[in-house]
């Protein structure tokens, strides 16, 4: 571990022996709270504009089909798939809005040396929302949809799309302006100024949410204990991790079959059309010469879900059988699963966008298919499986760590 002072900013890095990479443990960001507060304020304004005006407008043979940010989710819910519609609304608007509002309510007062009642619980929720707010993935879906319909009709970009791009940039800037460790310390400073003695190490656990070092005597390991700062439950290992991860993976494997066999949408032009699966959608992009996009959709929608299912199943089985093989590589596999899994939602967003845009009467229509429900479920289940799996079990099982579940 070491620190550097570059200008006014100070960062402390750990040299991770698992990844042989440097990860930031703590980074002091001057005026981070103030900058984040202003950026969240701007993000809220951009989110309101993104919902107030047309997002994309399709024009073909005298017909005009405007669509708003939420049009796709509403249309797919009307087409008998309310679960997909609700998921899209939550991932694209609900969770980003919750992040912005919590950022304003918690980080804003902290910037002025104050804190609101319930700030700790709100910030705990903010941290949990992070992987589920998917504005940047939705934008990739917009790019894919745009290239799919550009040959069919004229596509006009509305003011909402520009506001949505500004929303993504301001939210990324706000996230990078905040140092989470600093927020928690300002909400409630940790009392321990030194590490506990080595002989007591097994009586202390780090909170999964706020990283507070908490005393958890061995005799109370199985009793319910909560973090005194954020209220999260304390445990040496995630509760019942293997069984929960295994059950989620098994359900995802079963749903992966209908997700790829059933059509995700049907394109009807002049009264005729063929239902199309996820793989057929990739072939269409290749046929249109859109190789880079075809590659992105193939990787995000076919390769990543399949590799996630295989690799997570392998990780669970390797813990079950106490494997000592390639511990470091298996931990890297887990981190990659956590990082890229959410990008598979791009195909769900593409189908909802196309279903909203291509409503041109007898000229052309796109109808969502049952496969998209199964596919959305596979993505959500594998994301949850990655969250329920505790990677420390890999090291426990190999006997490289004294702790046991």
Measure the CA–CA gap between 267 and 141, rounded to whole angstroms. Answer: 17
Strands 9-16 and 21-28: antiparallel
- Please identify, using beta-carbon distances, which residue of 58 and 227 lies nearer to Zn ion: 227
Q: Closest approach of Cβ 28 to Zn ion, in Å? A: 21
- Please identify, using beta-carbon distances, which residue of 234 and 350 lies nearer to Zn ion: 234
- Please identify, using beta-carbon distances, which residue of 121 and 143 lies nearer to Zn ion: 121
Contact pattern from residue 105 through residue 134 relative to Zn ion, giving x for each residue in contact according to CB under 5 A and a dash for the rest = ------------------------------
- Please identify, using beta-carbon distances, which residue of 40 and 123 lies nearer to Zn ion: 123
Q: Which of 227, 297, 302, 354 binds Zn ion (CB under 5 A)?
A: 227
368 contacts 353 by C-beta, under 8 angstroms: no
Backbone φ/ψ region at 280: left (φ over 0), alpha (ψ -120 to 50), beta: alpha
65 contacts 58 by C-beta, under 8 angstroms: yes
Q: Interface with Zn ion by CB under 5 A: which range of 105-113, 199-207, 306-314, 369-377?
A: 199-207
Query: What six digits make up the tokens of 295?
Result: 């590659």
Total residues interacting with Zn ion, rule: CB under 5 A:
8
* Number of other residues whose CB lies within 10 A of the CB of residue 198: 7
Residue 222 burial by Cβ neighbours in a 10 Å radius (0-12, 13-18, 19+):
exposed
DSSP result, 344-356: GGHHHHHHHHHHH
Helices 135-149 and 159-177, axial angle in degrees (round to 10):
150
Q: Interface with Zn ion by CB under 5 A: which range of 150-158, 210-218, 293-301, 331-339?
A: 210-218
Question: Does 234 help bind Zn ion (rule: CB under 5 A)?
Answer: no
Question: Does 207 help bind Zn ion (rule: CB under 5 A)?
Answer: yes
Q: Closest approach of Cβ 124 to Zn ion, in Å? A: 7
Q: Interface with Zn ion by CB under 5 A: which range of 10-18, 206-214, 275-283, 336-344?
A: 206-214
Q: Which of 81, 142, 230, 346 binds Zn ion (CB under 5 A)?
A: 230
- Please identify, using beta-carbon distances, which residue of 214 and 252 lies nearer to Zn ion: 214
Task: For residue 6, give every residue at least 6 positions away whose Cβ sits within 8 Å of its Cβ, in sequence order, or none.
Answer: none
Helices (H), 9-81: 32-52, 71-78
Backbone φ/ψ region at 326: left (φ over 0), alpha (ψ -120 to 50), beta: left
Q: Interface with Zn ion by CB under 5 A: which range of 150-158, 221-229, 236-244, 291-299?
A: 221-229
- Please identify, using beta-carbon distances, which residue of 153 and 230 lies nearer to Zn ion: 230
Strands 364-368 and 359-360: antiparallel
Q: Closest approach of Cβ 210 to Zn ion, in Å? A: 3
Q: Closest approach of Cβ 110 to Zn ion, in Å? A: 17
172 contacts 71 by C-beta, under 8 angstroms: no
DSSP result, 362-374: TTEEEEE-THHHH
What H or E segment, with its residue span, contains residue 24? strand 21-28
Contact pattern from residue 163 through residue 182 relative to Zn ion, giving x for each residue in contact according to CB under 5 A and a dash for the rest = --------------------
Q: Closest approach of Cβ 108 to Zn ion, in Å? A: 22
Q: Which of 35, 99, 148, 229 binds Zn ion (CB under 5 A)?
A: 229
- Please identify, using beta-carbon distances, which residue of 140 and 230 lies nearer to Zn ion: 230
Q: Which of 209, 241, 277, 352 binds Zn ion (CB under 5 A)?
A: 209
Q: Closest approach of Cβ 211 to Zn ion, in Å? A: 7
What H or E segment, with its residue span, contains residue 136? helix 135-149
Question: Does 302 help bind Zn ion (rule: CB under 5 A)?
Answer: no
Question: Does 210 help bind Zn ion (rule: CB under 5 A)?
Answer: yes
Q: Over the Cα atoms of the chain, what is R_g?
A: 24
Measure the CA–CA gap between 210 and 179, rounded to whole angstroms. Answer: 12
Question: Does 216 help bind Zn ion (rule: CB under 5 A)?
Answer: no
Residues that bind Zn ion (CB under 5 A): 207, 209-210, 212, 227, 229-230, 232
């Amino acid at each position: 571990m070491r620190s550097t002072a570059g200008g006014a900013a100070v960062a402390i890095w750990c040299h991770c022996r698992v990844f042989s990479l440097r990860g930031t443990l703590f980074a002091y960001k001057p005026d981070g709270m103030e900058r984040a507060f202003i950026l969240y304020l701007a993000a809220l304004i951009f989110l309101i504009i993104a919902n107030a005006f047309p997002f994309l407008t399709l024009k073909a043979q005298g017909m005009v089909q405007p669509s708003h940010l939420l049009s796709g989710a509403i249309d797919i819910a009307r087409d008998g798939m309310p679960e997909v519609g609700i998921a899209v609304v939550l991932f694209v608007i609900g969770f980003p809005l919750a992040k912005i509002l919590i950022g304003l309510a918690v980080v804003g007062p902290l910037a002025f040396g104050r804190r609101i009642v319930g700030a700790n619980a709100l910030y705990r929720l903010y941290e949990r929302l992070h992987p589920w707010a998917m504005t940047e993935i939705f934008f990739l879906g917009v790019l894919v949809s745009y290239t799919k319909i550009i040959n069919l009709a004229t596509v006009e970009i509305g003011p909402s799309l520009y506001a949505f791009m500004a929303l993504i940039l301001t939210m990324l800037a706000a996230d990078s302006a905040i140092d989470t460790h600093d927020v928690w310390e300002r909400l409630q400073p940790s009392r321990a100024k030194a590490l506990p003695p080595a002989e007591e190490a097994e009586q202390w656990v780090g909170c999964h949410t706020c990283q507070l070092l908490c005393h958890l005597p061995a005799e109370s390991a199985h009793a319910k204990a909560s973090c005194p700062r954020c209220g999260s439950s304390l445990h040496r290992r995630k509760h019942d991790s293997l069984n929960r991860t295994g059950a989620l993976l098994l359900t995802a494997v079963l749903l992966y079959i209908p997700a790829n066999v059933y059509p995700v949408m049907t394109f009807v032009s002049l009264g005729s059309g063929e239902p199309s699966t996820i793989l057929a959608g990739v072939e269409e992009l290749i046929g249109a010469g859109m190789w880079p996009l075809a590659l992105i959709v193939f990787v995000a929608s076919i390769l990543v879900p399949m590799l996630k299912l295989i690799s997570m199943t392998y990780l669970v089985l390797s813990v079950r059988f106490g494997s000592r093989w390639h511990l470091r590589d298996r931990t890297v596999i887990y981190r990659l699963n956590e990082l890229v899994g959410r990008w598979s939602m791009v195909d769900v967003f593409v189908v909802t966008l196309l279903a909203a845009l291509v409503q041109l009467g007898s000229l052309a229509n796109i109808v969502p298919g049952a496969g998209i429900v199964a596919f959305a479920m596979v993505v959500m289940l594998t994301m949850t499986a990655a969250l329920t799996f505790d990677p420390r079990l890999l090291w426990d099982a190999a006997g490289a760590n004294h702790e046991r579940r």
